Amino acid sequence: MSGEKDLEQLKREAVAKAKAEAAAKRAAREAGQKPAESAAPKQEETPVEATPAAGSGAGDADDLAKKKAAAAAKAKAAALAKNKREGIADEEPAAEAAAPAPGVPEAGAGDADDLAKKKAAAVAKAKAAAAAKRKAMELAGGADQASEPAATPEAPEAADAGAGGDADDLAKKKAAAVAKAKAAAAAKRKAMELAGGADQAAEPAAEAGGDDAKAKAAAAAKAKAAAAAKAKAAAAAKAKREGGAEDVPAGDDEKAKAIAAAKAKAAAVAAAKAKAAAAKGGAAGAGAAEAKPSPNQPYLDKYVKVIEENMGSEVLEDFYINKLSKDVPTLVVKREAYFKLAQFLKYNELLGFDYLSELHGTDFETHMEIYVHLYSYKNRQSVAFKVKIDRNEPIIESLQPVWAGADWPECEAYDLLGIKFTGHPNLHRIMLGEEWVGYPLRKDYEPYDVEV
């Protein structure tokens, strides 16, 4: 049990660091974004005041439409859920700003934020009343809101400044390796913010904060859970799972959050630091410097460098050392770049992953994931690479043309999870037979034949 406590300690530290880091970043961003922001509130005022629900919903819908047209049909439901959630999300920082102590309350806020999100998705009962109340409050104060969110992040940031500076220094030391990722992440976020529209413009601060908070939300949640309410975390996890089905239609934002949460969760377990590196370029510095670097870190750096040099920085969604899995360098690749990256991994001189050790899919309810474990007999080094695919339309390129050994594993994934592999020469239901109904390894699988 003492080990767990250490973990908690580590987590809390990591949370604090990441937070400080985030705060520092926010400050930097805000400096640049002041003009945009000053304009934003004005824009926002109208929709928020007129039809608050529609307003935030519209902003979101934009985002949704851009990234996930398929979910359009459910946009309304998403908007509703989101509206509620955002209300809370926006409101939390305010509460946070008011809170005197920077550390714990913020963790609490992050937690609540996360929780609320999950709850909104699941329409959980327990806190529905409170949430609704808060929402109402927030909506009432719509006008204030526009200016307040912008201000709120600064408050904790100021409070955290000391710690933030520390973390920043550490981060800078490590910056060389992570700078790129950081830039990418920043760019991504910025793009998101801009696309987010009027509503988002006000939110970015909160979003940025929230984003950070999100990334470490689970960690925070855990820290808090240990300290106060473990049941709450459990409830959150449960809510999240239950809300899985809803999460998908809930849209990109929610999905991203869920992903971040899942990621953060894994990170929390891995003493939070490697994950922070993954979730956030900046935090990685703090994290990696804090714990002793993995022996495989140079390999990961090498892979990422080679990949980014040759394929651009856009292909990788994420990369980190998986401490749980014997420090295997893990790459999360974007859906579009999956096949190209696979080919690259195999045929690139420096990488030369000539052996496919394992390929399988997993149903994460919010999405599907393909996990591929590769090995290079030339360099005697492994890599795991993963890709997230849409659960409703699980289609992805087959790796069979690259590694012939992917043939049957892909058939198996198709058989048990329903992932379709395009370009596979003989995709068939290898285990259960063609007449089997349903995909058993999906979490929502119901046996067709009740006798079984």
CB of 309 to another protein, least distance (A): 26
The DSSP H or E segment spanning 368 is strand 368-376
From candidates 433, 435, 450, 451, binder to another protein by CB under 8 A: 433
From candidates 5, 76, 305, 326, binder to another protein by CB under 8 A: 326
- Residue pair 181/174 in contact (Cβ under 8 Å)? The answer is no
Nearer to another protein, 163 or 218 (CB): 218
Measure the CA–CA gap between 273 and 269, rounded to whole angstroms: 9
**E-strand stretches of 253-367:** 316-322, 328-333, 355-363
Interface with another protein (CB under 8 A), residue total 41
Please tell me the number of Cα atoms within 13 Å of 391 on its side-chain side. Answer: 21
Question: Between β-strands 355-363 and 328-333, what pairing exists: parallel, antiparallel or unpaired?
Answer: unpaired
From candidates 151, 324, 395, 437, binder to another protein by CB under 8 A: 324
> For the window 332-371, what string marks contact with another protein as x by the rule CB under 8 A?
----------------------xxxxx-x-xx-------x
CB of 446 to another protein, least distance (A): 13
Nearer to another protein, 58 or 269 (CB): 269
CB of 47 to another protein, least distance (A): 38
Nearer to another protein, 340 or 360 (CB): 360
Which span sits near another protein by CB under 8 A: 130-138, 205-213, 307-315, 319-327? Answer: 319-327
The torsion region of residue 15 among left (phi > 0), alpha (psi -120 to 50) and beta comes to alpha
Please, what is the Cα angle at 103 between 98 and 106, to 5 degrees? 55
Nearer to another protein, 24 or 274 (CB): 274
CB of 78 to another protein, least distance (A): 25
CB of 230 to another protein, least distance (A): 11
The DSSP H or E segment spanning 97 is helix 75-98
Nearer to another protein, 116 or 383 (CB): 383
3-class secondary structure, 122: helix
The torsion region of residue 339 among left (phi > 0), alpha (psi -120 to 50) and beta comes to alpha
Nearer to another protein, 65 or 430 (CB): 430
CB of 114 to another protein, least distance (A): 14
For residues 98-127, which are near another protein according to CB under 8 A? none
> For the window 396-415, what string marks contact with another protein as x by the rule CB under 8 A?
-------xxxxxxx--x---
> For the window 266-305, what string marks contact with another protein as x by the rule CB under 8 A?
x-xxx-----------------------------------
> For the window 228-267, what string marks contact with another protein as x by the rule CB under 8 A?
---------x---------------------------xx-
Bridge partner list, 361: 370
Measure the CA–CA gap between 279 and 182, rounded to whole angstroms: 10
- Residue pair 260/219 in contact (Cβ under 8 Å)? The answer is no
Nearer to another protein, 228 or 324 (CB): 324
CB of 45 to another protein, least distance (A): 42
Nearer to another protein, 170 or 413 (CB): 413
Residue 21's alpha-carbon distances to 16, 29, 30, in angstroms, are: 8, 12, 14
CB of 280 to another protein, least distance (A): 18
Sorted by sequence, the CB contacts under 8 Å of residue 121 that are 6+ apart come out as 81, 85, 239, 240, 243, 246, 247, 250, 254, 258
CB of 216 to another protein, least distance (A): 14
Phi first, then psi, for residue 263 (nearest 5°) are -60, -50
Can you say whether the dihedral through the CA atoms of 253, 255, 260, 261 is positive or negative? Answer: positive
For residues 47-106, which are near another protein according to CB under 8 A? none
- Residue pair 320/274 in contact (Cβ under 8 Å)? The answer is yes
Residue 329's CB is within 10 A of a number of other CB atoms, namely 24
Phi first, then psi, for residue 162 (nearest 5°) are -60, -55
Residue 208 one-letter amino acid: A
Please, what is the Cα angle at 353 between 348 and 356, to 5 degrees? 140
CB of 372 to another protein, least distance (A): 10
CB of 23 to another protein, least distance (A): 26
Nearer to another protein, 18 or 89 (CB): 18
CB of 153 to another protein, least distance (A): 28
User: Is 432 near another protein (CB under 8 A)?
Assistant: yes
Residues within the interface to another protein (CB under 8 A): 3, 237, 265-266, 268-270, 322, 324-326, 328, 354-358, 360, 362-363, 371, 373, 377, 380, 384, 403-409, 412, 416, 430-433, 440-441, 445
